Amino acid sequence: MKAIYLAVCLSGGAMLISGCAASTVYRQPGAPVLAPSLPAEIRLFAAEPKAAYTVLGSVAADCLGGTGDALELLRKKAASLGANAVVSLRITKIDVGSGRTGLSGTAVRLGR
């Protein structure tokens, strides 16, 4: 019984240290399939930009570790679709006590 308790405690501690992140990517039906882009080059917009763009899909990230970690994960997911921006960026939840942040938005390719 002690061995099981120790294993549960160690795995729980490892999850806390690793940051426990979850994310989703949904490719828009009919969206072009593009080569992945670089996460560092993903631009973020709270609103829709005036420039023309192509919707590639929806992305979301939920991280234990704050907004910076959630933004990094969101950029990685958008980059996996070949996006160069995320528009309509929203904070979907913040839990100050645990440091958990959730973000979501629409992955797009600016320009036509």
- pLDDT tens digits, residue range 34-68? 999 999 999 999 998 999 999 999 999 999 877 88
H helix intervals, the chain: 2-18, 67-80
How many Å apart are CA 110 and CA 61, to the nearest integer?
21
Single out the residue of 1, 8, 87, 74 nearest to residue 47, CA to CA. Answer: 87
Instruction: Give how far Cα 16 sits from Cα of 45, 69, 88, Å.
Output: 30, 14, 30
User: pLDDT at residue 100 above 80?
Assistant: yes
How many Å apart are CA 93 and CA 103, to the nearest integer?
7
* Model-wide pTM > 0.85: no
Strand-pair category, 53-64 with 43-44: unpaired
Give the CATH fold of the 21-110 domain: Translation Initiation Factor IF3 (3.30.110)
